[in-house]
Amino acid sequence: MIRWFDTLSSDDVALVGGKNASLGELTTKLAAAGVRVPHGFATTADVFWSVLDGAGLRSQILDLLNDDTRSPSDTAAEIRSLIETAELPVDFVDALTDAYHALGDRYDQDNVDVAVRSSATAEDLPEASFAGQQDTFLNVSGIEQVIAAVRKCFASLFTERAIYYRNEKGFDHSDVALSVGIQKMVRADQASAGVMFTLDTETGFPDVTVINAAWGLGEGVVSGEVTPDEYRVYTPFLDDDSLSPIIGHQVPRKDRKYVYTNGGSTEIAAVAETDAHASVLTEAEILQLARWGESIETHYGQAMDIEWAKDGETGDIFVVQARPETVQSQRQSATLRTYSLTETSEVLVRGAAIGDAVATGPVCRLDDPSQRDAFVDGGILVTELTDPDWVPLMKRASAIVTDRGGRTSHAAIVSREMELPAIVGTENATEVLNTGREVTVSCADGDEGQVLEGILDFEVDEQDLSTLPEVNTRVMINVASPPVAMKWWRLPVGGVGLARMEYIINNIIEVHPLALTRFAQVEDAAAREKIEQMTAGYDHKPDYFVDTLARGIATIAAAQYPHPVIVRMSDFKTNEYANLIGGQSFEPDEENPMMGWRGAARYYSDDYADGFALECQALRMARQDMGFDNIVAMIPFCRTPNEGREVLKIMAEQGLQRGEHGLKVYAMAEVPSNIMLADRFSDLFDGFSIGSNDLTQLTLGVDRDSDRLAYLFDERDEAVTRSIRHLIDTAHDPEQGPAIPVGICGQGPSDHPDFAAFLVEAGIDTISVLPDSVARTIRTIAEVEETIHHHA
List pLDDT tens digits, range 429-480: 999 999 999 999 998 875 679 999 999 999 886 667 778 899 999 999 999 8
Of 410, 443, 616, 638, the active-site residue reads: 410
- Contact in structure between 454 and 440 (CB atoms under 8 Å): yes
CA distance 614 to 654: 9
Strands 496-500 and 474-479: parallel
pLDDT in tens, 533-583: 999 889 999 999 999 999 999 999 999 999 999 999 999 999 999 999 999
Secondary structure tally for the chain: helices H, strands E: 29, 30
pLDDT for the residue 406: 66
CA gyration radius, the chain:
31
Closest CA to 688 of 568, 605, 600: 568
Which of the four pLDDT bands, split at 50, 70 and 90, describes residue 124?
very low
Between 50 and 316, the higher pLDDT residue: 316
Which one, of 671, 676, 672, 715, lies nearest residue 692 by Cα?
A: 715
Burial letters 318-349, b for 16+ CB under 10 A, else e: bbbbbbbbeebbeeeeeebeebebeeeeeebb
CA distances from 111 to 5, 42, 246, 610 (A): 20, 18, 41, 61
Q: Do residues 198 and 306 lie in contact, with contact meaning Cβ atoms separated by under 8 Å?
A: yes
Phi and psi angles of residue 41, each rounded to the nearest 5 degrees, phi first = -150, 170
Active site residue 745: yes
Contact criterion met (CB below 8 Å) for 668 and 689: yes
What CA–CA distance (Å, rounded) separates 490 from 204?
Answer: 10
Question: ∠ CA 661-665-666 to the nearest 5 degrees?
Answer: 150
CB atoms within 10 A of CB 757: 18
How far apart CA 257 and CA 216 sit, in angstroms, is: 5
Residue 636 in contact with residue 571, Cβ under 8 Å?
Answer: yes
Instruction: Kindly indicate the confidence band of residue 73, based on its pLDDT and cuts at 50, 70 and 90.
Output: confident
- % of the chain at pLDDT higher than 90: 62
Q: Which residue has the higher pLDDT, 462 or 608?
A: 608
Residue 723: band (very low, low, confident or very high) from pLDDT cuts 50, 70, 90: very high
Per-residue pLDDT tens digits for 398-437: 999 998 776 656 787 678 768 899 998 898 999 999 999 9
CB 396 within 8 A of CB 422: no
Task: State the Cα–Cα distance between residues 764 and 731, nearest whole angstrom.
Answer: 10
Mean pLDDT for all residues in the chain: 90
Tell me which of 388-392, 595-599, 775-779 is least confident. 388-392
Q: Is the pLDDT of residue 328 over 70?
A: no
Confidence of residue 126 (pLDDT cuts 50, 70, 90): very low
CA dist 714 → 449, 724, 726 (Å): 19, 13, 18
The residue-averaged pLDDT of 209-224 equals 83
Residue pair 401/381 in contact (Cβ under 8 Å)? The answer is yes
How confident is the model at residue 467, as a pLDDT? Answer: 84
pLDDT by residue (tens digit) across 145-178? 999 999 999 998 888 777 877 776 677 777 788 8
Q: With cut-offs at 50, 70 and 90, classify the pLDDT of residue 698.
A: very high
Which range, 162-176, 312-326, 634-648, 736-750, has the best average confidence (pLDDT)? 634-648
Quickly count: other Cβ atoms within 10 Å of residue 710's Cβ.
17
> 333 vs 204, 330, 460, 475, 557, CA distance in Å?
9, 9, 16, 19, 21
Among 170, 265, 172, 173, CA closest to 217: 265
H helices of 686-773, in order, are 692-700, 718-732, 748-751, 753-762
- How many angstroms separate the CA atoms of 614 and 150, rounded? 58
CB 691 within 8 A of CB 668: yes
Average pLDDT over residues 262-271: 81
Distance CA 100, CA 43 (A): 11
C-alpha distances in Å from residue 163, one per residue of 124, 171, 179, 408: 17, 10, 17, 57
- Contacts of residue 615, defined as CB under 8 A and 6 or more positions apart, other chains included, come to 501, 513, 549, 569, 570
Q: What residue type is 783 in one-letter code? A: E
Spatial CA neighbour of 247 closest among 500, 560, 531, 503 = 560
Which of the residues 364, 616, 638, 745 is marked catalytic? 745
Query: Is pLDDT of 777 > 50?
Result: yes
Cα–Cα distances (Å) from 597 to 238, 591, 614, 644, in that order, read 42, 11, 18, 15
Q: Residue 484: pLDDT above 80?
A: no
In the residue annotation, 638 being an active-site residue is answered as no
Mean per-residue pLDDT, 296-311: 94
